[in-house]
A and B are shown apart, each in its own frame.
Chain A
Amino acid sequence: MGGKGNSKPAGETLGDAERTRFADLLVAVAERQDRQAFAELFAYYAPRVKSYLLRLGADSALAEEIAQDVMVTVWRKAGLFDRVQASVSTWIFRIARNRRIDLFRRSKRPELDPEEEMILPSGVEAPDARIEAMETEARVRAAMKDLPEEQILLLKLAFYEGLSHSEIAARLGAPLGTVKSRIRLAFAKMKVRLGDE
């Protein structure tokens, strides 16, 4: 492949201009069935979706197949993309995630672990103040920039890879209580609105 979408070093995320460009490309796919725009999205996202699936334990052939399938779905559902609601990355992640739900029978995985602490800290108001989705996108991205590497790792393991708190503790060799409290702390920072601090 080696398109320009692949030239970024691992770990680097998209800036504002690139995210706007990808949203433009996806809209071009939706409105004009623009193959060139799709090719550019494919060059950037297909290899990353494949990495995501490999990370989840798919073998190379299956990861390739699902990544292809996710990108075909991107083409087919481009008309449902709403740039006000989500970034292209978040939107494509959701498609990949839903394919994952369809394809992996997660029989060995513990699901919501009933032993896990589920009660929210008190004082949480009912979320009737509905925060705009795009503000969430900006807020979370800004918060992640300021977060120490270690807390980003914890958030990725929990939200992206879908490991339970006990699995994370085992993987990192850290006490469960520490893992729980740090994830809670890191996630709380994602929920602090810009300017609230």
Chain B
Amino acid sequence: MFLTDAEMIKVTQQAELNESTLAALASGRAEPALDLFLDVLMKMRGILESEGEVISGVALEGEDPAEMSVDALAMAFAAIERGGLARQRALAYPELSVLPARLREAIASAESRSGWKTIGLGIRTLDLGAAGELKAEIVRVAPGMTVPRHTHKGRELTLCIHGEYMDSGAVYGPGDFSIRDPSIHHEPKALEGAPAYALAVTDAGLKFDGLLGVFQKVFGL
């Protein structure tokens, strides 16, 4: 099935990524926002696809050691003295501290950089500042609140990371995600009782066509 215009697809089934996609993820070649999205998705769904990383760990051991400058270790210790130990920074919303470590760190770092922005009644967003051409942000919807009906300039991938929300007739819980065509109007509504959070990856309408094809193939849509 291919996504046609004006369509939104909810994806809940287990997905297995093939070796070409895994290689792109393991090596860090994928677009950063998409890399984050897939990494978080796989962790949330309990998919351990670490063969590629083990291959890379073994390859690292096999490297011909490059020469470091004579004071490299001393400089590392100096940097360590300056920086101290990494502390777990408290997040603005403590319920998010259970998220996979990489996303949690991205949130902590974005909170100290740009911070949450209120974009409507009960709606806040946090730009994760992903390198590359795609935008990754966290959207928080307060309990029972609705994101006003809107469309996006580009396609949007939305992964529910915490809580539950209803969108276009389907309920999304942690690990569920949707792929949305730009022309779709939608108004996600958090269920009563708890806020809902989503990781949203969007483009400016230019880049996703190719990526979407990848998703359709990867997830067998």
Contacts and interface: CB of A to CB of B under 8 A. Distances in A.
Interface residues of B, number: 65
Contacts of B59: 156, 159-160
A155 B28 contact: no
A84 B89 CA distance: 25
Nearest to A99: B28
B62 A42 contact: no
Interface of B is mostly: helix
B203 to A, nearest CB: 12
Nearest to A184: B19
Contact of A159 (B46, B52, B61, B86): B52
A67 B214 contact: no
B54 A137 contact: yes
Interface of A is mostly: helix
B21 A112 contact: yes
Interface string A74-98: 0111011000001101111110111
Given A52-B63, A67-B72, A90-B50, 12 more contacts: A45-B60, A47-B68, A68-B79, A71-B76, A72-B76, A100-B28, A101-B131, A118-B214, A156-B55, A159-B26, A162-B24, A165-B20
Interface of B: 13-14, 16, 18-24, 26-32, 34-35, 46-48, 50-70, 72-73, 75-77, 79-80, 83-86, 101-102, 131-132, 210-211, 213-214, 217-218, 220
